[in-house]
Structure 1
Amino acid sequence: MTTTCFTRPAFKSRVVPVIVLSDPAHAVPLAHALLEGGIDVMEITLRSDAALASIEAVAKAVPQMHLGAGTVTRVAEVQRVIDAGATFALSPGATDALVEAVKAARLPFIPGVMTPGEVMHRREQGFSLMKLFPAQQAGGLGMLKALGAPLPDVMFCPTGGVSPENLKDFLKLPNVAMAGGSWLTPAEALAAGDWERITQLARGATELAAG
């Protein structure tokens, strides 16, 4: 990816695991488990002290994984995630200063939005793929359908409230490029090193997305 604003990411999966890691040692086996289940993208969020080390570990050991840094909310974090090896970034929301920082760094970025006004503002800045967050609280499927009529040129990655039960419904919408979810990497499976369970969850999500 060479541009800041992108509609068609390089990864194939339409399901983006939203991951919180407390131990960088889990990062590489987790990446392999997701790949085995058909998911070639991971969003490692900056919600723990282990995040940057985890991104760096995957970037070095699993180059075939498309590696996103999530919960990027501060300008100072932009260069840090680039240095760690992230190839794109996502945010729960976005400020103009953050947008200026990712553009200056040429880091592909998916800004978070929740309202039509935010969508229009980010579109004016050149973004055509945005993260609807928190999707469920923002209106979920109904909100996305409503946004599709007046803003048909914008695509979304809904995150927050997406589950195996509603994943197919989200992905059926014409303005949904992909969906993010945390159910693929449950904390207890990570703590136990149960990579087979994560592969099974990834495979199940991949099958749902394909259906």
Structure 2
Amino acid sequence: MKDVTIETIMRTSPVIPVLVIDDAATARALAEALVAGGLRVLEVTLRTAAALDAIREMKQVPGAIVGAGTVVSTGQFDDVMDAGAEFIVSPGLTETLGRVVVDSRVPFLPGIATAGDIMRGYDLGLRHFKFFPAETSGGLKALKALAAPFHEAQFCPTGGITEASARDWLAFEKVLCVGGSWVTPAGAAMADVEAKARAAANLR
């Protein structure tokens, strides 16, 4: 994926499912359901011991673009690259992690919540950001205010986005996609996940 930009990934579908996977044995079926529903970009968060194996399993699904989320250190970056992650999402942005990912040319979506965060990203040559945590950082009104001085920046709001609110976020021209977990509720059957994915894929 080194020749694919983060913008291309963000424009692939309007919703990126944010996945917390406890059992890697369920990962492939989950990816198949999401891709069948039209959501090809999948973010596997590093919040569980199963995450790296889940990335490996999901990579086997045709059409899936599998990335790693909640990457907070260069050690984790090395681990997810070994697992085959095709893009990187972090909850925040440090120069140490940012420089390593930027130099690798792997598509990168770092988290920002303030103007200072965006300026740090600009210093690294970045123009695409995850606005996180979106709702508790002031919501859509706050993002519009943040985006105004940074006309080149484009965003993927994540954190508190729901099926009901996603369309409002997506209506803002600076928002290329949103991240959300509502597509994969705990205990949902794969048929239900596929249906929710199809609805999410049609939000824009």
The TM-score range, normalised by the shorter chain, is over 0.9
Q: Which amino acid aligns with 2:114?
A: T
Q: Which runs of 5+ in 2 are unaligned?
A: none
Q: Name the SS of the counterpart of 1:2 in structure 2.
A: coil
CA deviation profile, 1:178-207 (whole Å, cap 9, x unmatched): 100011111222xxxx10010111111112
Q: Which residue pairs with 1:202 in the alignment? A: 197
Q: CA distance change for structure 1 residues 30 and 112 in 2, over 3 Å: closer, same or farther? A: same
| Conserved? CA contact 2:93–2:112, under 8 Å | yes
Q: Which residue of 1 aligns with 2:146?
A: 147
Q: RMSD between aligned alpha carbons?
A: 1.5
Letter in 2 for 1:145: K
TM-fit CA distance, 1:4? 9.0
Equivalent-residue separation in structure 2 for 1:121 and 1:10 (angstroms): 21
Cα shift at 1:9: 2.1
TM-superposed CA distance for 1:11, in Å, is 5.9
Q: Take 2:184 and 2:24, find their aligned partners in 1: how far apart are those partners?
A: 14
Please, which runs of 5 or more residues in structure 1 have no aligned partner? none
Given that residues 41 and 68 in structure 1 are in contact (C-alpha distance below 8 angstroms), is that contact kept between their aligned partners in structure 2? yes
Does the CA-based 8 Å contact 1:5-1:126 persist in structure 2? no
Distance 1:29 1:69 in 2: 18
The residue type equivalent to 2:160 in the other structure is G
| Alpha-carbon distance, 1:6 to partner | 3.4
The two structures have a TM-score, normalised by structure 1, of 0.92
Residue aligning to 1:7: 7
Q: After superposition, where does 1:128-207 map in structure 2 within 5 Å?
A: 128-189=127-188, 194-207=189-202
| 1:143–1:90 Cα change, 3 Å | same
TM superposition shift of 1:10: 7.0
Partner-residue secondary structure (3-state), 2:163: coil
| Segments of 4+ moved more than 4 angstroms | none
Instruction: Quickly say closer, same or farther: Cα 1:55–1:105, change in 2 above 3 A.
Output: same
Contact 1:21-1:44 within 8 A present in 2 as well: yes
Contact 2:147 2:174 in 1 (8 A): yes
- 2-side partners of 1:155 and 1:164: how far apart? 21
Residue number in structure 2 paired with 1:21:
21
Amino acid at match of 1:40: R
TM-score (ref. length: structure 2): 0.95
**Number of aligned pairs?**
204
Give me the whole-angstrom Cα distance separating, in 2, the residues matched to 1:31 and 1:2: 22
Instruction: Look up the match of 1:51.
Output: 51
What amino acid sits opposite 1:198 in the alignment?
V
> In structure 2, how many angstroms separate the alpha carbons of the residues matched to 1:159 and 1:87?
19
State whether residues 15 and 180 of structure 1, in contact with CA within 8 Å, keep that contact through their aligned partners in structure 2.
yes
Q: Percent same amino acid at aligned positions?
A: 42
Q: Which residue of 1 aligns with 2:32?
A: 32
